[in-house]
Chain A
Amino acid sequence: MTTTALSAPRERRRDPRRHYPMWFYLPAAAVYGVLFIVPTVASLYFAFTRWNLSGAEFIGFENFALFFREPYLFQGLVNTLIYGALTSGLKVVLGLLLGVFLTSQIIARGYLRSVVFFPVLVSTVGIGVTFAVLMDPSDGLINRALAVIGVDGPGWLTDPNLALVSVALVDVWKGVGLATLIYIAGIVAIPQEYFEAAKVDGASSCQNLRFVILPLLWPATSTVIVLSLIGGLRSFDLIWTMTQGGPGFTSDVVASVIFKQYQAGFWGLSSAGNVVLFLLVSAVMVPLYWLMGRKEVER
C-alpha cells in the first residue's frame, strides 16, 4: 500500500521481521476468524437458499429478486442514506465545533466535557425509551415546553414525515460526545507552535479554525466520518426501540427491513438482505476510505 513506499528506505536499516512478528496477528485472527468470518461465510451460502426452520433449499438468486421487490425497500434505501448522511454530517459539524469550543479558555470546561460525553454512556434502549416519552405528541415534555411558548409541537415520532429525522436527532444527541472526544484528542495533539505562528501572522480565530485546525484535524475528521457513517448506514437499534420502523413503514431503513425478515423466520431472505446491505455500505465506504487514505498520505 502507499505507506510501504514511504517506509521503504527505513526498512533497509533494520529487519522488520524480527521486531514486528506476524504471530501478533494470530490471537485476534483466531477469535475473529472462528466467530465472525466462518459464520459470515456460511450465511453467504444461505443467502442463496430458502432457509427457515424447515431446512435450506438452494434457490439461486431468487432471494435477491424477492428482496428488491419488497415494496418498502426503496423507501428503506432512501431512508438509510438520509439517516447515514444526516447523523454523520451533524456529528462532524457539531463534534468539531464542540471540540474547538471545549479546548478554548472557558469556565467549567471539565464539567461541559463530561456533560456532552455522558449520553454516550447511556444504553440505547434506555435512551430510546426516555426519548419516546419525551417526544410524545401530547404528553411529552418537548411539546409541553413548546406549548408554553405558544408553539404547537409536531408528532415527533408519529408524523410519517418527521419520524426518521427525530430518531436521527436522538442518534446525534447520543453520539456527538464521542465525535467531540475524538476532536478534542486531535486538537490537543496539535503542537502549540502552529497557533503561535498563526498568531504572529495575525490570524483571526475564524481563520485559525479554517486554515490551521481543520487541515491538521483531518485524521480525526476521517475517523469520525468512517465510524459515524458506517454506524449510521447500519444503524437500526435506536430506530427499532423508538419507532420499530413506523408509523407503518415510513422510518424503515435497510437494516430494519432485514431484521424484520429475520424475525419472521425468513433467514435465507434476510441473509440475502445482509449481502445487499454490505454491498451498499461498501459502495459508499470503500471509495471514501480510499480517498481519505490518500489525503492522509498527501498531508
Chain B
Amino acid sequence: MHSTHRPLLPRAAAGAAAAVLAAGLAACSTGGDDDGTLNILIDNSEATGSLMQALVDAYTEAHPDVEIELEIRPGGTEGDNIVKTRLQTGDMPDLFFYNSGSLLQALNPSQMLTDLSGETYLDSVTDTFKDGVTSGDAVHGVPVGQAIGGGVLYNLAAYEELGLEVPTTWDEFMANNQAILDAGTAAPVIQTYGTESAWTSQLFVLADNYNVLAAEPDWADAYTANEAHFADTPAALAGFEHLQEVAEAGYLNEDFASLTYNEGLAALVAGEGVHYPILTNALTEIEAVDPEGVDQLGFFGLPGDAPAEAGVTTWLPGALYLPQTNEDPGPAQDFLAFVASTEGCDAQTAGVSVIGPYFIDGCTVPSDVPPAVAQLQAYFDAGLTAPALEFLSPVKGPALEQITVEVGSGIRSAADAAALYDEDVKKQAQQLGLEGW
C-alpha cells in the first residue's frame, strides 16, 4: 500500500513540473493498449464521427494490416475536461482529435504534445492552419475537416419571398429583421439556449471579430497583453450590444430559452426562423438529418457597424494531435501523413459533403457545393476573412456562453456582460501564466 504514496507526495512537494509528471506517468500508465491497434479519441459529434470514419476507412483499405479504433468521448466542456484529465494522467490514446486555437493552448501543448514541425508531411499544411496549432516553435496538429465560417445562416426562400438583400451593415441587418417581423410569418433571429446548446449564444460576440479587427487592427495583441478589454473597446463591445438590441427589439424566436441547437437548425430549414448566427459546420449536422435541407440555406458574415467591406470571421477546423506519452508513434505518424495528404482530403470529400476550403495544399473542393458553402467560398476568394479571436490569442474565458445567454435573455445588460467577461478572461490568463495579468 505504501507504494501508492510514491507517485503523489514527492511530486506534490516538488511543485510537480509537468514534464517530470508526463515522463513519470508514462512508466506506470497503459497509454493506449499495446495490441497493435491504433486508438484515436474523438468527440461524439456527427461531423467529427463521419469525417474520421471516412479517413479511417480509406486508410485501412490501403493498409489492411492496420486496425484503427475510434474511441468516443462526450463533447462540450465535459469533453474538454476528459481530454485534460487523460493528458494529465498519461492516459491519452495514440492520437486524439481536439480543437485548434485557444482551447488547444489550454492543453499546455509544448509539454503534452509531440512537435510535428520536423515531419515532411506537414509541408503541405497551409501556414494559416499551422498558426492555429503552434505553440512557441512547435507545430502540433494535422487538420481534419475544412475551414469554417462564423456568421449568419439564413433561409433563402424567406429572403426571396420578402425581396430582401444580403445585408452588409448592422443597420441593414436590423432593417431586414424588421421586415421579417412585419411580415409576421417567421421569427427574424433564431437563438437556442436549451439543453447543451448555450454555446450557440456566443456567436454574436465571437463572429464579430472580423468587424472588431477592421476597426482596431491591433485588438488581438492588445487584448492578449491585458491592454484592451471588451468593456473599454467600443468595437469589441458592439458584439454584446448587438445581441442585446436584437433581443430587445423582439426579433428572437419565442422559444429561444428552451430550443436546442439541432431544433434551431430544423426551424431554420423549415422557415420558422430566417436568420441563425452560427458556425457553418452546422451544415454537416443538417445534412446528416435532412440532406435536402442544406440547399435551403444561404450564408453571410455577421454585419458590423462600419460601412467598410463586409467580411467573415473564420474558424479553423479541429486537428489530430500526438500525445508525448505515445511510446510507439510510428503508426500514428503514418496515419497523420495520410490525413495531411491529398488522398486524405479526397477521402473526406467522398465521405462527407464539403463545407469550405481545405487547409492542405493541392486539395480541391468540388464545384457543385450548396449555396451557403459557395457564399462562404466567395469571402475566401475575395480575401475578406479574419480569424476568430481564439486563433489570435490564447485567452478565452470559460463563462462566455453563460454571459451571452444572460444578455440574450434580458437578465444582464451588454456593458455589464462585457465587464463580467473581462473578469472571466483574466482568470484564464492567470492560469496560463501570461505576462501582464
- List A residues at the B interface (Cβ < 8 Å): 30, 34, 38, 42, 45-46, 49-58, 66, 71, 132, 136-139, 155, 157-158, 160, 242, 244-250, 260-266, 269
Neighbour of B255 across the interface among A49, A137, A245, CB < 8 A: A137
Neighbour of B431 across the interface among A30, A52, A71, A250, CB < 8 A: A52
Asked if B28 is an interface residue, CB under 8 A from chain A, the answer is no
Whether A244 contacts B411 by the Cβ 8 Å rule is no
In the assembled complex, the Cα of A247 lies from the Cα of B433 at a distance in Å of 31
Whether B411 contacts A250 by the Cβ 8 Å rule is yes
Whether A57 contacts B15 by the Cβ 8 Å rule is yes
How would residues 175 to 207 of chain B score, 1 for a CB under 8 Å from any chain A CB and 0 otherwise?
000000000000000000101101000000000
In the assembled complex, the Cα of A53 lies from the Cα of B198 at a distance in Å of 26
Asked if B27 is an interface residue, CB under 8 A from chain A, the answer is no
Whether A247 contacts B406 by the Cβ 8 Å rule is yes
Classify the interface of chain B: helix, strand, loop or mixed: helix
List the B side residues contacting A260 at CB < 8 Å. Answer: 77, 398-399
Residues of chain B at interface, number, CB under 8 A: 48
Q: 13 extra interchain contacts, Cβ-Cβ under 8 A, other than A137-B258, A262-B81?
A: A30-B1, A38-B8, A52-B106, A53-B84, A54-B108, A55-B18, A57-B15, A132-B195, A155-B257, A158-B193, A160-B411, A260-B399, A265-B81
Asked if B420 is an interface residue, CB under 8 A from chain A, the answer is yes
Asked if B423 is an interface residue, CB under 8 A from chain A, the answer is yes
Whether A53 contacts B108 by the Cβ 8 Å rule is yes
Smallest CB separation, A133 vs chain B (Å): 9
Whether B84 contacts A246 by the Cβ 8 Å rule is no
Neighbour of A54 across the interface among B195, B405, B428, B433, CB < 8 A: B433
Neighbour of A248 across the interface among B4, B5, B108, B405, CB < 8 A: B405
- List B residues at the A interface (Cβ < 8 Å): 1, 4-5, 8-9, 12, 15-18, 21, 77-78, 80-81, 84, 87-88, 106-108, 111-112, 193, 195-196, 198, 254-255, 257-258, 398-399, 402-403, 405-406, 409, 411-412, 420, 423, 427-428, 430-433
Whether B5 contacts A38 by the Cβ 8 Å rule is yes
Whether B402 contacts A248 by the Cβ 8 Å rule is yes
In the assembled complex, the Cα of A266 lies from the Cα of B254 at a distance in Å of 36
List the A side residues contacting B108 at CB < 8 Å. Answer: 52-54
A to B CB contacts below 8 Å, 29 in the list: A30-B1, A34-B1, A42-B12, A46-B12, A50-B433, A53-B18, A53-B84, A53-B87, A53-B88, A54-B18, A55-B21, A57-B15, A132-B195, A137-B255, A138-B255, A138-B258, A158-B193, A158-B258, A242-B195, A244-B196, A247-B193, A247-B257, A248-B412, A249-B399, A260-B399, A262-B81, A263-B77, A265-B106, A269-B427
Closest to A244 in B: B198
Closest to A66 in B: B427
